[in-house]
Amino acid sequence: MTLRADIDGTWEPSPATRWEDAFLGGNGRHGAMVYGDPADDRVIVNHHSLVRPNGSEHARPPELADGLHQMQSALLAGDTTAAERFGAGRPLVWVQPFHPAFQTRIRSTPGASAGSEDGGPPAGYRRTVDFTTGEITAVCEGRRSQVFVSRADDVIVQRVTGPGLAVDLTLDHALPGAPPRLAIGRGTALTPGGGRLALRVGYPDSDLAYTGVTVVRADGGRVTVAGEGIRIEGARSLLLLTRVHRHASGPDPAAESAALPQDDYPALLARHRALHRPAFERSALTLDADPAERSLPGSELLRRPGSPALLERLFAAGRYHLLSSAGVLPPRLTGLWTGDWNTAWSGAFTTNANLNLQIASAAAAALPEVSRAHAALVYGQLADWRDNARAIFGARGIVAPSHTDGESGHTRHYQRAYPLHLWTAGADWLLEPLIEDAETSGVTDPRLVDALHEAALFYEDFLTRTAPDGTVAVVPSYSPENRPANASWGTVNATMDIAAARHALTASAGRSPTHPASARRRALAARLPAYRVNGDGALAEWAWPGLAETYDHRHLSHLYPVWPLDAINPYDTPELSAAAHRALELRGSENDSAHGHLHHALIAARLRDGARASAALDAVLAGDFFHDSLMSAHYPSRNVYNADAAHALPAAVIESLVQSTPHRLVLLPAPPAGCPSGELRGVLTRFGAGLDLRWSADGTATAVLHPTRDARVDVRTGHGSTLTGSSAGTPSAPLELTAGVDRVLELGPR
């Protein structure tokens, strides 16, 4: 449709003055935040492993199981505050906070020219990031700085070129919020044609530390030791290679003597690009956008929230940042990046909404790297999840925490207003993205089957109490992070908990139909209570008689059966779908958290409400949520650096255009209102076919399916469009797909 050069990247006409506006690079382990200031060329170095010990790393789930039965009985008897005493009196302990390592600084020596006379950037300055390669470039007056984070060599690479470079190079640990009692050790050594800097940082009151090493190679000029760094004078170019490693306190010979690649910049970039480019280019969105708007810097384009060019760029940026921040672990609340030691909510993985929303596009947008990173987090913590189940609930199986720092999966967050230790749906919620990945790829990891078994095992032990009507009662129960208007947070039969229990039991039975427990689990799932429709005609957040709704809240946990489970949908359960839609209509946005708006958009798309999905997306586009880096904030007015909106936006767009289950394909269920025509390429479906979709303003569209396995699917359409030869609003005849044989579907006009 158009050239992609103005879509798959962004640029700014000046250096970043705030770390939030720094352009981002990453390989899923190391992260780089690039300011691009020619006078003080700073790159903040991040690593997924860098969390500051705060005592919580030794915390284990408390032994509460002995009091469980008494608390359950009190809740069932009508004591609406009984759960507040379950684990009461314990201090609130946040997980270990994520933090930056240090920044490399290349500062022009006194007398060197690197800026305009008025202190601004020199004429012709341009800072760019190329999403297809991950390369970040700043150019001005013959000087060029290029940075990328290598997937092939796991190293941050920077090249600076220019006539007669005269600079000082240092590693600067003094970033905002750095604790005052850090133990700092430095090492500086000259090498033939360059030098080596090492920075070792020990945490206060801890036996842990981390070491960063930067090797510099100069092309020409003179290299000398200068203070705590290295001075280079008269060089034609510099090549910097940086790594960081977390380790036991004291010197770390392995980190400080580790050999870094000897290749030149083009060879390093070529190796990295061979891995990064194919991953990024698997999927893409192209809209009918104004070329003049496409050419604008990101900061200017953000001022045009209704522009298709903005949605194109944010879609590409979201996939780029998601891919760059997922590797050894999935993205944190801040992705893989922060420039401040005081990260909000510890920069943790918040699992009761944020993490799943961030990775929601992983399967459909062809990013298996993200799914593998999520699998690494989940499977790496199962032992801790077993401890949670045993200690808190006296049960076998697994219970996931609401927060984790990536190291420990133990539940440790106890607070009256946020009793996150009562949340039992977490394991099923966190396993669902791995089920989607397995359905998309056609390959099931044996660890997934085992984990589903353990999730079901927990419910077999936990669901032992009954309601007066003979159904199983989920007690205690908690709907993150809301409470009934007439009861405390911990209560009975939260809809999310019912959905998770039913899904865990049936998914385990479905994946292992010959398992001795499968029939028993299906029977237990059948005894769970039905979802409740309240007096407003809305799907209730709690399916327990007498509990009143609290509608104005950022979380939409009770609509878990709609998205992502698809247990409630307009095709199979139209009455419950209407009730879920009513619940969405009544839901407020509370404090305008970005994740709430995007969650709303995802659910609205599943319910085929294009106007509501577009309004939720527009609230983010028009709410000043995005920094110049195109990374997002948690609140409007760019308040609190947070990756939720940036990473979840591609999922909201895809869900509005294409939805799939193992047996159904929905085309154009809720297209974004401001994008009447466009192309979505490289989407993967859960029945094993790639899909390319073109749509036009008149409702016509063409979908090309590329099956990788045989399948039989029901095709549905939305937005008033119909499959050629079918009548509006009715299902098509089942579509038979054969592996390796493309199928073309034509949609007629509205």
- Reported as a single tens digit per residue, the pLDDT across 688-707 is 999 999 999 888 999 999 99
pLDDT at 89: 80
Q: What average pLDDT does this structure show over 346-371?
A: 98
Q: What average pLDDT does this structure show over 308-336?
A: 98
Q: What average pLDDT does this structure show over 215-237?
A: 96
- pLDDT-based confidence at 317, cuts 50/70/90? very high
Residue 360 tokens, joined: 């929601």
For residue 475, pLDDT beyond 90: yes
Check: CB of residue 171 under 8 Å from CB of residue 229: yes
Range from 306-320, 714-728, 732-746 that averages highest in pLDDT = 306-320
Residue 586: enclosing H or E segment and its boundaries? helix 574-586
Residue 674: name the closest of 701, 700, 653, 703 by CA.
653
Supply the pTM of this predicted model. Answer: 0.96
pLDDT in tens, 671-691: 988 888 999 999 999 999 999
pLDDT at 579: 98
* Calpha distance 289→298 (Å, rounded): 15
Residue 736 tokens, joined: 């038979």
User: Domains of the chain by range and CATH?
Assistant: 9-51+99-277 (2.70.98.50), 66-96+302-647 (1.50.10.10), 678-748 (2.60.40.1180)
Check: CB of residue 667 under 8 Å from CB of residue 715: yes
Task: Work out whether the CA dihedral 562, 566, 567, 573 comes out positive or negative.
Answer: positive
pLDDT in tens, 411-436: 987 788 889 999 999 999 999 999 99
Q: What average pLDDT does this structure show over 80-95?
A: 89
**pLDDT, the chain, mean:** 94
DSSP β-bridge partners for residue 233? 166, 222
Q: What average pLDDT does this structure show over 86-105?
A: 92
Number of C-alpha atoms within 13 angstroms, CB side, residue 182?
A: 22
CA 595 to chain centre: 11
pLDDT at 251: 73
CA 331 to chain centre: 5
Contacts of 654 (CB under 8 A, 6+ apart): 361, 364, 365, 680, 683
For residue 727, pLDDT beyond 50: no
pLDDT at 731: 45
For residue 723, pLDDT beyond 90: no
For residue 721, pLDDT beyond 90: no
pLDDT at 729: 42
CB under 8 A, 24+ apart: contacts of 220-226: 221/164, 221/165, 223/190, 223/193, 223/194, 223/195, 224/190, 225/188, 225/190, 225/195, 226/168
Residue 269: name the closest of 146, 130, 150 by CA.
150
pLDDT at 110: 77
Number of C-alpha atoms within 13 angstroms, CB side, residue 725?
A: 5
Higher confidence at residue 114 or residue 478?
478
* Calpha distance 705→660 (Å, rounded): 12
Per residue, the 3-state secondary structure of 235-294, as one string, reads EEEEEEEEEEEEEECCCCHHHHCCCCCCCCHHHHHHHHHHHHHHHHCCCEEEECCCHHHH
Of the candidate ranges 88-92, 158-162, 172-176, 350-354, the one whose mean pLDDT is the lowest: 88-92
Higher confidence at residue 153 or residue 749?
153
Angle at 628 between CA 622 and CA 631, to 5 degrees: 80
Of the candidate ranges 137-146, 328-337, 727-736, the one whose mean pLDDT is the lowest: 727-736
- pLDDT-based confidence at 111, cuts 50/70/90? low
**10 Å Cβ neighbour count for 303?**
10
pLDDT at 250: 76
Check: CB of residue 399 under 8 Å from CB of residue 393: yes
Q: What average pLDDT does this structure show over 243-252?
A: 87
Q: What average pLDDT does this structure show over 53-73?
A: 94
For residue 35, pLDDT beyond 70: yes
Check: CB of residue 19 under 8 Å from CB of residue 177: no
What does the chain come to in residues? Answer: 750
The alpha-helical segments, DSSP class H, found in 442-539 are: 446-462, 495-511, 518-526
pLDDT at 750: 63
* Calpha distance 116→121 (Å, rounded): 6
Burial of 56 (0-12, 13-18, 19+ CB in 10 A): buried
